[in-house]
Amino acid sequence: MDEENTENAENTENTENTPNSSNRVRLVLFCIALILVGISALILYLLFRPSKPYFSVASVWVYALTNNVSSSQSSNLLCTSMQFNFVLNNPNDRVGIFYDRLSVSVYYHNEPIAPPVALPSIFQKPSETGALSQALGAPIVPVSEDAVTQLTLDQANGVVGLKVVVLGQVKYKSTLYKTGWSMLYVTCDLVVGLKKGGTSTTVPLLSNPECLVET
Residue 73: the pLDDT is: 58
Mean pLDDT in the chain? 85
Distance separating alpha carbons of residues 21 and 148, to the nearest angstrom: 84
Identity at 9, one-letter amino acid code:
A
Instruction: For residues 91-111, give the mean pLDDT.
Output: 95
Q: Are residues 72 and 19 in the same domain?
A: no
**Same domain membership, residue 60 and residue 40:** no
Q: Is there a single domain that holds both residue 197 and residue 108?
A: yes
Same-domain pairing of 22 and 66 = no
CATH code of the domain containing 85? 2.60.40
In this structure, the answer to whether residues 151 and 166 fall within a common structural domain is: yes
144 and 121 in a common domain: yes
Check whether residue 125 and residue 83 sit in a common domain.
yes
Same domain for 74 and 43: no
Confidence of residue 25 (pLDDT cuts 50, 70, 90): confident
Q: Is the dihedral of CA 150, 155, 161, 163 positive or negative?
A: positive
Stretch among 13-17, 19-23, 27-31, 194-198 having the lowest mean pLDDT: 13-17
**Shared-domain flag, residues 43 and 58:** no
pTM (two decimals): 0.77
Q: Span 69-93, mean pLDDT?
A: 85
pLDDT at 121 over 70: yes
Domain that holds residue 172: 54-214
Q: What is the mean pLDDT of residues 185-211?
A: 87
Which DSSP category does 124 fall into?
E
Residue 186 class from Cβ within 10 Å (0-12 exposed, 13-18 middle, 19+ buried)? buried
Task: State the Cα torsion 47-49-53-54 to the nearest 10°.
Answer: -50
Q: CA dist 181 to 81, 124, 173, 215, Å?
A: 32, 15, 11, 10
pLDDT band at 12 (very low <50, low <70, confident <90, very high): low
- Domain shared by 105 and 12, yes or no: no
**Number of domains forming the structure of the chain:** 2
User: Cα-flanking dihedrals φ and ψ of residue 35, to 5°?
Assistant: -65, -45
Q: Using one digit for the tens of pLDDT, what is the confidence trace for 130-182?
A: 999 999 999 999 999 999 999 999 999 999 999 999 999 999 998 888 889 99
- Whether 59 shows a pLDDT value over 90: the answer reads yes
Looking at the structure, tell me whether residues 63 and 102 fall in a common domain. yes
**Same domain, yes or no: 67 and 30:** no
Q: Is the dihedral of CA 206, 209, 210, 212 positive or negative?
A: positive
Ranked by mean pLDDT, which of 8-17, 45-54, 175-184 comes out on top?
175-184
Decide if pLDDT at 17 tops 90.
no
